[in-house]
A and B are shown apart, each in its own frame.
Chain A
Amino acid sequence: MSETRSAFHQEIEDLERTLLGVADQAELMVRKAVAAFTEGRLDLAQQVIADDDEIDRTYLEVHNRWMNLMALQQPVASDLRQMSMLLHMNTTLERMGDQCVNISKMALATEGLPRVEVIRERLQEMSDLVRAMIRAGIESVVRRDADEARLLPAMDEPVDRLNRNMYQEVVSAGPDPKRLEWATKAMMVSRALERVGDQVVDIGEQLAFLLTGEMAEFDDVGFSDV
C-alpha cells in the first residue's frame, strides 16, 4: 500500500503554505495600519496599500490553482474539506487585507489632526488582540488543533467589547471639531479591527470542519451581552 496521489496532495499542501504566508503578512499589515493611524505614520499607510496589492495578486493565483485542483482532481473526504478551508481562507485573508487598507486610508485622511490619547490606547489594545488572534489562528491550522481554534471566539470577545465601547470614547473626545473628526475616523478603524477578529474566527470554524467533518459556527461568546 502506498500514497497514490502524492502530486495532488503536495499541491494542496503548497496552497495551504501560501495562505499561511498571507496570514503572516496580514498580521503584519494590521500592526502597520493601526500604527499608521494612531501615530500618523503615513509611510506605513502607503506600505500597507502596497502590501495589499501583493495579497490581491496571491488571492487570484490561489483562486486559479484552487479551481484547477477542483476541476482536475475532484477531491473528496478530508481533501475536499481541506479545499473548503483553503477557499474560505483565501477569501477571508483577502478581505483582511482590504480592512487594513481601509484603516490606512483613515490614516491618510486624518493627516495633521490632533489625536485622542485614550482612543489611541484602545485601538492599540484592539490591534494587539486581533494580531494575537491571527497568530493563534495560524498556529491552530498548522497544528491541526481544533481545541485551540475553539478558543478564538473567547479571544474575539474583548475585541467586540472594545469596538462597542468606542462610541462612548468618541463622544467623550470633547467639543474640538478636529479632535472629533479624528475620533470619528477612529470608530471606523475600530470597526475594521472588529471585522478582522470575526474573520479569524471564520478560519477557525473552517479548521474545525476540516478536522471533524461537521460544519458549525462557533458560539459567539461576546454576542449575549450586546
Chain B
Amino acid sequence: MNVTYESTKQETPAAVESESPTTPGAGAIMRTEDLNVFYGTFRAVEDVTIEFADREITALIGPSGCGKSTVLRSLNRMNDLIPGARVEGGVFFHGRSIYEPGVDPVEVRRRVGMVFQKPNPFPKSIYENVAWGARINGFRGSRSDLDDLVENALTQAALWDEVKDKLNESGYSLSGGQQQRLCIARALAPSPEVLLMDEPCSALDPIATLRIEELMLDLKEEYTIIIVTHNMQQAGRVSDRTAFFSVDVDDRGQRTGKLVEFDQTEKLFTSPSRKETEDYITGRFG
C-alpha cells in the first residue's frame, strides 16, 4: 500500500525553531524521536533524537560500533531486512512515522534512497543500472521518457559525459569512483528526496573521493543528504551539521550506541561542547 506524505514545503514545526543544538535552523525533513534499535535482545542504539534539515548534508561520525550506520539504516527501514531487527521510538518523514501500519517500506525507500559503502552496480549495462531504479518503482513512461530519465540521473551524478557513448557497456567496466557515481545515479532515478550514504567513499581513492564530495555539494541543492563517514575531514569538508555518536559499555560488556553531540559542523570541529566529542575528534581517546 502506498502512503502519501505531506509536501516538503510545510510550515516549519515550532520545535524546529528552537536553538537546541540538536535542532536544525531550517525546516527538518526527517527526524527521530527517542529512537532505539534492537537486534534481538541487543539494543544497538539508545534514545536517539535528532532532526535532519531539508537540503543540507548531515554527517554521522563516531567510533566503530557506535550505531551510526544502524541509525542511518533505520531512516529508510533498511533494518527491516535484518532478521530480529526491531525499532522503538519514532522516525518521522515530513512529520509522519515511517514505521506506522500502512506505510509501504518500498515507497519509503523510493523517497529515501541509499548508497552503500562499496560500489555495487548490477551485472547489467550502465543504462539498465539506472533504468532499474525507475522501473521497480513503477515507471510507466515511453522508452524516450526513460532515456531522458537515465540521462538526467547520470548528469546529476556527474557521470553522463564519461559514459554517454557507452551506455550499453557493463557497469563493471567503469572505475571504482565511476561505479559509485553510477550507484548514486541509480539511487537518484526514482526521484528521492533524501539520500542516505553509508561510507560512500571508503573504497575509493582520494581523487574519486573528492569527486563524490563535490557531487554531494551539488546534489544538496535538490536533495537532503545524510552520510555516515569514518573520515572526519570528509565530514568537515562536506557537511553542514555533524552528529557525533559514541558507545556506552555496561557491566556485562554490552555496547550501546548513543548520540553525544549534534551541531553545526564548524562548531563541532572547532569548539565542541562535549568532552567526549573533543576527546574523540582530537584523538585523545579512541
Contacts and interface: CB of A to CB of B under 8 A. Distances in A.
B271 A4 contact: no
B282 interface: yes
A3 interface: yes
Given A76-B232, A77-B269, A81-B270, A5 B278 contact: no
Interface in B233-286: 233, 236, 269-272, 277-278, 281-286
A4 B285 CA distance: 6
Contact of A78 (B232, B233, B278, B286): B278
Contacts of A4: 283-286
Contacts, number: 43
Given A4-B283, A5-B284, A8-B283, A74 B233 contact: yes
Contact of A5 (B233, B269, B270, B283): B283
A3 B270 contact: no
B285 A76 contact: no
Nearest to B286: A4
A75 B282 CA distance: 7
Contacts of A1: 285-286
B64 to A, nearest CB: 13
| Chain B: number of interface residues, binned into ranges | 10 to 19
B253 to A, nearest CB: 15
B271 A77 contact: yes
B282 A78 contact: yes
Given A76-B236, A77-B281, A78-B278, A213 B286 contact: no
A226 to B, nearest CB: 34
A3 B269 contact: no
Given A76-B236, A77-B278, A213 B271 contact: yes
A111 interface: no
A76 B270 CA distance: 6
A208 to B, nearest CB: 12
A220 to B, nearest CB: 25
A77 B282 contact: yes
A1 B248 CA distance: 12
A153 to B, nearest CB: 23
Given A74-B233, A77-B278, A2 B285 contact: yes
Contact of B282 (A2, A79, A214): A79
Contact of A9 (B271, B272, B284, B286): B284
A3 B278 contact: no
Nearest to B271: A213
A153 B259 CA distance: 41
Which 9 residue pairs of A and B lie closest in terms of their CB atoms, listed nearest first?
A: A213-B271, A5-B283, A4-B286, A1-B285, A4-B283, A76-B269, A79-B282, A76-B281, A77-B278
Given A1-B285, A77-B277, A214-B271, 11 more contacts: A2-B285, A3-B284, A4-B284, A4-B286, A5-B283, A8-B283, A76-B282, A77-B270, A77-B271, A77-B272, A81-B271
Interface of A: 1-5, 8-9, 74-81, 213-214
16 contacts: A3-B284, A3-B285, A4-B286, A5-B283, A8-B283, A9-B283, A9-B284, A76-B236, A76-B269, A76-B282, A77-B269, A77-B270, A77-B272, A77-B277, A80-B269, A213-B270
